[in-house]
Amino acid sequence: MTANVIIGAQWGDEGKGKVVDLFTEFADIVVRFQGGNNAGHTLVVEENGVTQKTVLHLIPSGILHRNKVCVIASGVVLDPGVLLGELDALAQRGHTVEPRQLLIASDASVILPYHCALDIARETSKGERKIGTTGRGIGPCYEDRVARRAVFVRDLLDEPSLREKLESNLPEKNQLLAHYGAPGFELEAVLAQMLALGVRLAPFVRETGRFIYDEVHRGRNVLFEGAQGTLLDVSLGTYPFVTSSHTTAGGVCVGAGIAPSAINGVIGITKAYCTRVGSGPFPTELNDEVGEFMRKAGHEFGSTTGRPRRCGWIDVAALRYATRINGFTGLAVTKLDVLSGLERVKFCVGYHDAQGNQLDEPPMDVARLATLTPIYEELSGWSEDISGVRVFDDLPRNARHFLRRLETILGVPIVLVSVGAKRAETIVLENIYR
Which residues belong to the active site?
Answer: 13, 41
Q: Which residue is nearest to ligand IMP (CB)?
A: 278
By CB under 6 A, residue 283 contacts ligand IMP: no
Question: What ranges make up the beta strands (E) of 261-317?
Answer: 265-271, 274-276, 310-312, 314-315
| Count of Cβ atoms closer than 10 Å to residue 426 Cβ | 18
Q: Does 243 bind ligand IMP (CB under 6 A)?
A: yes
Measured distance between the N- and C-terminal CA atoms of the chain, rounded to whole angstroms: 11
What is the C-alpha to C-alpha distance for residues 158 and 173, in angstroms, rounded to an integer?
21
Q: CA 104 to CA 138: how far, in whole Å?
A: 18
Does 59 help bind ligand IMP (rule: CB under 6 A)?
no
Question: Between 205 and 272, whose beta carbon lies closer to ligand IMP?
Answer: 272
Q: How far is the CB of 122 from ligand IMP (least distance, A)?
A: 10
Among residues 132, 209, 363, 381, the one that binds ligand IMP under rule CB under 6 A: 132
- Per-residue binding string, ligand IMP, 29-48, x by CB under 6 A, is ---------xxx--------
DSSP β-bridge partners for residue 334: 271
Kindly state the smallest distance separating residue 403's Cβ from ligand IMP, in Å. 24
Where in 207-341 does DSSP place strands (E)? 221-225, 265-271, 274-276, 310-312, 314-315, 330-334
Residue from 4, 10, 34, 244 binding ligand IMP (CB under 6 A): 244
- By three-state DSSP, how is residue 199 classified? helix
CA atoms of 304 and 292, how far apart (whole Å) = 20
Binding residues for ligand IMP restricted to 211-230, rule: CB under 6 A: 227-228
318: nearest Cα among 238, 390, 400 = 238
* Residue 136 in contact with ligand IMP, rule: CB under 6 A: yes
Q: Does 232 help bind ligand IMP (rule: CB under 6 A)?
A: yes
Considering Cα of 59, then 62, then 66, then 69, what sign does the dihedral take? negative
Indicate whether 131 belongs to the interface with ligand IMP (CB under 6 A).
Answer: yes
The least distance separating ligand IMP from the CB of residue 249, rounded to whole angstroms, comes to 17
Minimum separation from the CB atom of position 12 to ligand IMP (A): 3
Binding site for ligand IMP (CB under 6 A): 11-13, 38-40, 131-134, 136, 138-139, 227-228, 232, 241, 243-244, 277-278
